[in-house]
Amino acid sequence: MTTTTHCPACLTPTNHPGLCRHCQGEWRNALHAIPLAIQALQLKAWRQTHTSHDAGRSTHATTPQPIDWTAQDQMQEITSLLNWIATLHDQKLATETHWPRLLNTILANLPHISQTDQAATAMRTTINTIARTWRMTDPTEDTHAIGECPQCHQPLFAQDSETVITCPTCHSQWDTQWLKTRRATRIAQTLQANTIQGTPSQIARWTTATTGIRTTGHQVSDWIRRGKLTAQRTPDGTQWQTSMQAILDAIQDRRTTHDTVGDLPKHHATRDTQTT
């Protein structure tokens, strides 16, 4: 008699314990992507350090920039992940730190590891880690502010294609659509209590004077167009209404996505915009 079980990752009925063949394949694909992911992180970590040779001497062609510690931390996270997965096969590998050796061991023994109790967690963590690495090294899609972590209040940002996001501070996971709805409700409530009204240039001058962060009217218009700043047109269509919280979220979003900060003449900061 054949006993039917379920894949712990996707709940598909199977006739064997552990992950189903599809999930094993997804996991294997993510593991095979690790060498390229680490290479991309290495390039990101040292992206602005170049060396040239002059009269037999090795000199820096450009001033070396600080190491990107975010990329360094991500590489360490991948190594720690591989170390943990490898111990699901053999506890003796707990002290191994050479990631290629760990990866080869995992790939060679993946069928056995896929039958362990923690295989589903390990698979999801691997896939999420690789996806996060690609976002760090090749952010081809804009990220947007979607709210804050309900658990630790860390501001959260996500791409439109993401359905689940992990808080970088407390590592809790949240549905992005729920966070967006929650944020939209909060902004709507704030909009009624603390409204800022004006043209994009007026809002930019108010933002600069209030926060000390130089902002231009072009940037405000771009934020509104790209959905990074929640704003509504006035009935006559000549101005925009937004809230201070929405502006602060847009500024934080700009800093996260490295939008260009424009130079604003100092005398603009002294002008007031209409507020209600």
**Which pLDDT tens digit goes with each residue over 117-132?**
999 999 999 998 888 8
Model confidence band, residue 220 (pLDDT cutoffs 50, 70, 90): very high
Q: Are 148 and 154 contacting, i.e. CB atoms less than 8 angstroms apart?
A: yes
CA proximity to 176, closest of 160, 159, 164: 164
The predicted model gives 76-80 an average pLDDT of: 90
DSSP class of residue 275 equals: B
Q: How far is CA 47 from the centre of its chain?
A: 19
Q: Are 89 and 18 contacting, i.e. CB atoms less than 8 angstroms apart?
A: no
**What pLDDT score does 17 carry?**
83
Q: Is the pLDDT of residue 51 over 70?
A: no
Rounded CA separation 218/205 (Å): 11
Q: Are 252 and 145 contacting, i.e. CB atoms less than 8 angstroms apart?
A: yes
Average pLDDT, the chain: 77
Give the contacts of 55 (CB within 8 A, at least 6 positions apart).
none
Q: Is the pLDDT of residue 242 over 70?
A: yes
Question: pLDDT: is 268 or 36 the higher one?
Answer: 36
pLDDT in tens, 171-207: 788 898 999 898 888 766 655 567 788 999 999 988 8
Axis-axis angle for helices 176-193, 244-257 (nearest 10): 140
The predicted model gives 13-31 an average pLDDT of: 88
The CA distances from residue 219 to 117, 246, 275, in Å, are 51, 14, 19
The CA distances from residue 80 to 165, 171, 239, in Å, are 21, 16, 52
Question: What are the domain boundaries of the chain?
Answer: 1-49+67-141, 184-270
DSSP class of residue 76 equals: H
pLDDT in tens, 1-12: 456 688 888 888
Q: Is the pLDDT of residue 152 over 90?
A: no
**What pLDDT score does 193 carry?**
60
Helix-strand-coil split of the chain, %, nearest 5: 50, 15, 35
**What pLDDT score does 114 carry?**
93
Looking at 18-27, 65-74, 100-109, which range is the least confident one? Answer: 65-74
The CA distances from residue 186 to 79, 157, 196, 234, in Å, are 39, 16, 16, 20
Looking at 29-33, 124-128, 133-137, 232-236, which range is the least confident one? Answer: 133-137
The predicted model gives 23-42 an average pLDDT of: 90
Question: pLDDT: is 252 or 238 the higher one?
Answer: 238
Helix or strand holding residue 77 (H, E): helix 69-87
Model confidence band, residue 256 (pLDDT cutoffs 50, 70, 90): low
The predicted model gives 235-256 an average pLDDT of: 81
Model confidence band, residue 52 (pLDDT cutoffs 50, 70, 90): very low
Rounded CA separation 126/73 (Å): 16
**What pLDDT score does 65 carry?**
46
- E strands present in 64-219: 143-148, 155-159, 164-166, 173-175, 195-198
| Torsion sign over Cα 251, 252, 255, 256 | negative
Q: Are 202 and 273 contacting, i.e. CB atoms less than 8 angstroms apart?
A: yes
Q: Which amino acid is at 228?
A: K
Q: Are 275 and 196 contacting, i.e. CB atoms less than 8 angstroms apart?
A: yes
Q: Is the pLDDT of residue 92 over 90?
A: no
Q: Are 240 and 273 contacting, i.e. CB atoms less than 8 angstroms apart?
A: no
Other CB atoms within a 10 A radius of the CB of residue 80 amount to 13
Model confidence band, residue 272 (pLDDT cutoffs 50, 70, 90): very low
**What pLDDT score does 60 carry?**
42
**What pLDDT score does 224 carry?**
92
Model confidence band, residue 112 (pLDDT cutoffs 50, 70, 90): very high
